[in-house]
Chain A
Amino acid sequence: KAGVTQTPRYLIKTRGQQVTLSCSPISGHRSVSWYQQTPGQGLQFLFEYFSETQRNKGNFPGRFSGRQFSNSRSEMNVSTLELGDSALYLCASSLEPDTEAFFGQGTRLTVV
Chain B
Amino acid sequence: GQQVMQIPQYQHVQEGEDFTTYCNSSTTLSNIQWYKQRPGGHPVFLIQLVKSGEVKKQKRLTFQFGEAKKNSSLHITATQTTDVGTYFCAGCNQGGKLIFGQGTELSVKP
* Residues of A in contact with B (beta carbons under 8 Å apart): 33, 35, 42-45, 48, 55-56, 58-59, 90, 92, 97-106
**Interface majority SS on B: helix, strand, loop or mixed?**
strand
Q: How many residues of B contact A (CB 8 A)?
A: 22
- Other A-B contacts than A90-B42, A101-B90, A105-B42, 9 sampled, CB-CB below 8 A, are A33-B98, A42-B102, A43-B43, A48-B97, A55-B96, A56-B95, A98-B30, A100-B48, A101-B43
A42 touches B100 (CB 8 A): yes
- Number of CB contacts from chain A to chain B under 8 A: 53
Q: Which residues of chain B (25-80) have a CB below 8 Å from chain A?
A: 30-31, 33, 35, 42-45, 48
| With known contacts A43-B43, A104-B42, A98–B100 Cβ distance under 8 A | no
Q: Which residues of B contact A100 (CB under 8 A)?
A: 33, 45, 48
In the complex, the chain B residue whose C-beta lies closest to that of A102 is B45
| With known contacts A42-B101, A98-B30, A98-B92, A59–B45 Cβ distance under 8 A | no
Q: Which residues of A contact B99 (CB under 8 A)?
A: 45
| With known contacts A100-B48, A101-B45, A45–B1 Cβ distance under 8 A | no
A97 to B30, CA, bound (A): 12
Q: Which residues of B contact A33 (CB under 8 A)?
A: 98
B33 touches A45 (CB 8 A): no
Min Cβ gap B47→A in Å is: 9
* Residues of B in contact with A (beta carbons under 8 Å apart): 1, 30-31, 33, 35, 42-45, 48, 88, 90, 92, 95-103
Question: Which 6 residue pairs spanning A and B have beta carbons closest together?
Answer: A43-B100, A103-B42, A42-B102, A56-B97, A100-B45, A97-B96
Q: Which residues of B contact A97 (CB under 8 A)?
A: 96
B43 touches A56 (CB 8 A): no
B100 touches A35 (CB 8 A): yes
A103 to B86, CA, bound (A): 15
Q: Which residues of B contact A35 (CB under 8 A)?
A: 100
Q: Which residues of B contact A42 (CB under 8 A)?
A: 88, 100-103
Name the residue among A48, A58, A59, A100 with the largest chain B CB count within 10 angstroms. A100
